[in-house]
């Protein structure tokens, strides 16, 4: 499962970003996992427990889907960086 940031660009030049969307779809269908539901006229995006955003589908001009590292990958990278720093300091005699 991959993690994505999905950005919905609208006609008026504004954008709504849904972060950390977990999806097994290929890149062109990731936006479906970012929305609560959609129909022929609207797209409903749950931003948090209290906020549900409704967009007219005809007002959406572009959807960008950017793959980002998952939280687990970020933790692993931090561990690897820490190990590299300890190793380097050990080689310097510190």
Q: Give the CA radius of gyration of the chain.
A: 19
Phi then psi dihedrals of residue 92, to 5 deg: -85, -10
Domains and CATH numbers, the chain: 2-68 (2.30.30.100)
- How many residues make up the chain in this entry? 94
CA distance 39 to 8: 16
Closest to 34 measured CA to CA, from 16, 51, 61, 50: 16
Q: CB 45: neighbour CB atoms within 10 A?
A: 20
pLDDT of res. 69: 78
Q: What is the pLDDT of residues 17-59, one digit of tens each?
A: 998 898 988 778 899 999 999 999 999 999 888 999 999 999 9
The whole-number pLDDT of residue 9 equals: 95
Q: How many CB atoms lie within 10 A of CB 71?
A: 10
Report the predicted TM-score, pTM, of the whole model to 2 decimal places: 0.72
């Amino acid at each position: 499962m991959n993690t994505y940031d999905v950005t919905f660009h609208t006609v008026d030049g504004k954008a709504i970003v849904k972060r950390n969307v977990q999806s097994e779809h290929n890149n062109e269908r990731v936006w479906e996992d970012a929305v609560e539901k959609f129909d022929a006229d609207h797209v409903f995006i749950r931003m948090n427990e209290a906020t549900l955003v409704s967009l007219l589908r005809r007002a959406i001009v572009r959807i960008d889907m950017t793959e980002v590292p998952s939280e687990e990958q970020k933790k692993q990278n931090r561990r690897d960086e820490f190990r590299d720093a300890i190793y380097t300091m050990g080689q310097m005699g510190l």
